[in-house]
Amino acid sequence: MFSKSEEQSILYGLVTVSVNGRTPSAKANYLLVQWGCQLSEKLSNSYLPTKRMMLLHFSKGELQDMDRCSEQVYLMIFESFAKRLISYEEKKDRKKLLDNYKAFMNGLISLPVNIPGTAFHACVQGSKNAIKVITDIYHERKASKIPHNDFLDRLIEEEEKENAFMDDGVAINMLFLLLFGAFESTSEAITLLTKFIFDHPEVLEELTKEHEAILKSRKNQESGLTWQEYKSMNFTHMVINETVRLANIAPLIFRKVGKEAEMKGYTIPKGWIVLVAPAVVHLNPEKYENPLEFNPWRWKEQDLHSGSKTFMAWGSGTRLCVGADFAKLQIAIFIHHFVTKYRWSVTKGGDFIRRPSLIFPNGIHIKIAEKQKC
């Protein structure tokens, strides 16, 4: 378990990022990963793509047509984060937090005409309703003082301190944004990855080999994934990197110009905001051979865990996604169960568009069944 001070560092890491827009300390980011890892050690009964969760979402024991795998992934990842952050369960709570997030997302980049019927109006309403649900949960928890062992507990503890650096409003906004940033991106990555590995059987084969080897060398077959096992998933990390390179989930990142700079004959004044489009680099044939090809092997013997001027799926420079390692962990866990426990194939769908986030207009439909145990 983590000590109080370590947990607080995790909290500070997230709070600093969301509230002040500053980069969390490397230690806080590291602790966030450790926290995720600690959760992963309890995989067998509590954490997201556990067998139980996957079964719940993907299969009822028989071969079946799955309507919109993408919807299921979305729900699965949402439930996972909502539970960890605020102990919210969509099915139980019936507060429709997810629907409101969807409305928010759909109109996030739209004409700002706030009249009923427009995407922008639905977006504003969606965010208001979602914030209302989170606000109610926040205040109920604060009043009840019943601990739930989730992120909200820590947040309230922090907020109630003397000289706290945030108030209720900041804490609630932070929860709203954190939940959004976490589940939307991760579920998009997993959905796209499902399509990619189905379209590339050689990748699926290599992944299956890697994960079955993990199972074979495990002493207790019933125990969950361990941190060591996770760290050994080299090919899996190559697949994740390749997926997020092509996915360009964050279509744009913002940077403020710290000092006047010259670029290709143009002067960029100090204080200007620059929009960086990672796809321009990720799909540049001078940086990546056949850039549109899904080829995890291009990451062989490359650094798989840091950003660079040619790989900025998690941001770039000193400011990176604070949840990157956590997201990678989730995706790896998903892959582990998906390739070792199930037989599956995509039956239709899989096309995607950008709006500007990745959208799968026809979902991805899959046929799935549990593999027979030998």
Q: Categorise residue 192: left if φ over 0, alpha if ψ from -120 to 50, beta otherwise.
A: alpha
Sequence-distant (≥ 6) Cβ neighbours of residue 8 within 8 angstroms: 154, 158
Provide, rounded to whole angstroms, the least separation between the CB of residue 319 and ligand HEM: 5
Provide, rounded to whole angstroms, the least separation between the CB of residue 181 and ligand HEM: 4
Nearer to ligand HEM, 8 or 316 (CB): 316
Phi–psi pair at 65, nearest 5 degrees: -80, 130
Residues 7, 188: Cα–Cα separation, whole Å: 28
Provide, rounded to whole angstroms, the least separation between the CB of residue 350 and ligand HEM: 18
Phi–psi pair at 153, nearest 5 degrees: -55, -50
Residues 94, 268: Cα–Cα separation, whole Å: 50
Provide, rounded to whole angstroms, the least separation between the CB of residue 189 and ligand HEM: 4
3-class secondary structure, 250:
coil
Provide, rounded to whole angstroms, the least separation between the CB of residue 256 and ligand HEM: 11
245 CB-contact burial (10 Å; exposed 0-12 / middle 13-18 / buried 19+): buried
Residues 334, 54: Cα–Cα separation, whole Å: 9
Provide, rounded to whole angstroms, the least separation between the CB of residue 273 and ligand HEM: 12
* 315-319 own/partner pairs: CB under 8 Å, 24+ apart: 315/250, 315/253, 316/253, 316/276, 316/278, 317/255, 318/23, 319/23, 319/255
Nearer to ligand HEM, 218 or 255 (CB): 255
Nearer to ligand HEM, 120 or 360 (CB): 360
Nearer to ligand HEM, 22 or 300 (CB): 22
Nearer to ligand HEM, 122 or 131 (CB): 131
* 208-216 own/partner pairs: CB under 8 Å, 24+ apart: 208/339, 208/340, 210/234, 210/235, 210/236, 211/236, 211/335, 211/336, 211/339, 211/340, 212/340, 214/336, 215/340
Sequence-distant (≥ 6) Cβ neighbours of residue 223 within 8 angstroms: 44
- Measured at CB, which residue is nearest to ligand HEM? 323
Provide, rounded to whole angstroms, the least separation between the CB of residue 57 and ligand HEM: 18
Q: Which amino acid is at 369?
A: A
Nearer to ligand HEM, 305 or 348 (CB): 305
Nearer to ligand HEM, 59 or 357 (CB): 357
Given the rule CB under 6 A, which residues bind ligand HEM?
17-18, 21, 23, 178, 181-182, 185-186, 189, 244, 249-250, 253, 313-316, 319-323, 326-327
Residues 338, 130: Cα–Cα separation, whole Å: 31
Provide, rounded to whole angstroms, the least separation between the CB of residue 71 and ligand HEM: 18
Provide, rounded to whole angstroms, the least separation between the CB of residue 37 and ligand HEM: 13
Nearer to ligand HEM, 14 or 137 (CB): 14
Helix (H) or strand (E) holding 196: helix 168-199
Nearer to ligand HEM, 331 or 339 (CB): 331
